[in-house]
């Protein structure tokens, strides 16, 4: 049994054979549990990404809403490099100097909690107004905030926004009909605009109230978010990295190859070089940790001079994606299962461990 945790192996070695079998059985059960949890998290992450693309689509360059209203998708996660509570999407109108920050909620269990979360993000955005202007590269005279969620979640979010008098516009995403629409939460339009629950821009407001086609389909703009599940990001980045190696008849790559690849990724539009370096470094380290990549130059300290190669099978794009998923699952499920197995074993035999501790203390 390969171990990701020295403490687990040390604990296992301290047991008699009969107890080792019990621990191993708990470990195997936990492996299955942890793999299911990780896969569930990856599925949720991809559902969230689907909603983000659905929201962005009408605001792409030369798309319907951009042409009609001047509002343009600017970038994702504006506060990424600061590690602050962040919105998913930033949309800007250069004529009216208005910025819309959108939070996408693919699933909603507690509407009040979700609205509270967005209220906290609004406070962060207001505190960092100057930073937002730097990111936009222009003055911001108006900030508006939206929650975009699937149509089925609207009944949970509507009363929460109203009860908290939150300055939040509610966007409804009907995925099946491919319609993005703005929900009117009160009858008095002027009052709703003043409260921040309807957009001030008349044309944008009217078009969204009627509903706008949003069918990104296979031409999704954003393949991942900077905060996306690392397995999702690696599954997207590794095949492109592999194709670049094939194109250039190379077997090895450097850190700069990952940086160059990310610079072209639409998910990272308008990201600074500092942000790109930080993101690329995290990605490389995770790839090394789960053994998707191999460091061919362990004795070289300068990151820019190091050479790497794929450690997984890379005969095809499908084999790379499968390899990334398998390595990620094996590493993280094993690590979590080992910890859980020791905890469960000790809880199951708590009385025995208590006796041993008392005996050791007396000695």
The helix/strand count (H/E) of the chain reads as 13, 10
Crossing angle for the helix pair 129-136 and 111-127, nearest 10 degrees?
A: 80
- Write down the pTM of the prediction: 0.87
- Label residue 99 exposed, middle or buried (CB < 10 Å: 0-12, 13-18, 19+): buried
> SS3 of 328, please?
helix
Each residue's pLDDT tens digit, 6-16: 588 888 888 88
The residue among 348, 259, 339, 257 whose CA lies nearest residue 4 is: 339
Each residue's pLDDT tens digit, 76-108: 998 887 777 789 999 999 999 999 999 999 999
Residue 287 has pLDDT above 80, yes or no: yes
Between the alpha carbon of residue 206 and those of residues 53, 149, 203, 223, the distances in Å are: 22, 19, 5, 30
pLDDT at residue 101, as a whole number = 98
Strand partners, 307: none
pLDDT at residue 83, as a whole number = 76
pLDDT at residue 353, as a whole number = 56
Provide the residue ranges of all domains of the chain, joining segments of one domain with +: 50-213, 223-363
Task: Count CA atoms within 13 Å of residue 292 on its CB side.
Answer: 29
């Amino acid at each position: 049994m390969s171990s990701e945790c020295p403490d687990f192996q040390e604990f296992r070695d301290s047991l008699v054979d009969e107890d080792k079998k019990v621990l191993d059985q708990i470990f195997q059960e936990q492996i299955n549990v942890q793999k299911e949890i990780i896969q569930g998290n990856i599925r949720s992450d991809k559902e969230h990404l689907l909603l983000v693309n659905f929201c962005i689509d009408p605001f792409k360059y030369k798309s319907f809403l951009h042409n009609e209203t001047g509002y343009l998708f600017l970038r994702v996660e504006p506060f990424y490099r600061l590690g602050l509570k962040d919105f998913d999407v930033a949309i800007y109108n250069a004529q009216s100097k208005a910025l819309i920050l959108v939070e996408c909620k693919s699933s909603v269990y507690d509407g009040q909690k979700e609205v509270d979360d967005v209220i906290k993000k609004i406070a962060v955005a207001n505190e960092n107004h100057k930073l937002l202007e730097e990111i936009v590269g222009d003055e911001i005279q108006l900030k508006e905030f939206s929650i975009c969620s699937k149509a089925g979640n609207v009944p949970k979010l509507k009363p929460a926004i109203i009860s908290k008098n939150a300055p939040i516009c509610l966007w409804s995403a009907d995925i099946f009909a491919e319609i993005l629409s703005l929900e009117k939460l009160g009858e008095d339009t002027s009052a709703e605009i003043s409260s921040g629950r309807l957009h001030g821009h008349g044309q944008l407001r009217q078009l969204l109230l009627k509903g706008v086609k949003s069918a990104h389909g296979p031409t999704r703009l954003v393949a991942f978010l900077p905060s996306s599940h690392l397995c999702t990001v690696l599954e997207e980045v590794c095949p492109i990295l592999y194709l670049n190696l094939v194109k250039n008849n190379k077997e090895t790559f450097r850190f700069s190859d990952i940086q160059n690849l990310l610079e072209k990724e639409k998910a990272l539009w308008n990201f600074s070089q500092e942000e790109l370096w930080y993101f690329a470094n995290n990605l490389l380290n995770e790839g090394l940790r789960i053994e998707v990549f191999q460091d061919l130059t362990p004795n070289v300290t300068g990151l820019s001079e190091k050479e790497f190669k794929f450690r997984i099978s890379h005969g095809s794009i499908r084999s790379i994606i499968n390899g990334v998923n398998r390595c990620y699952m094996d590493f993280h499920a094993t690590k979590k299962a080992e910890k859980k197995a020791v905890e469960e074993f000790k809880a199951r035999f708590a009385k025995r461990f208590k006796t041993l501790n008392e005996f050791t203390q007396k000695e």
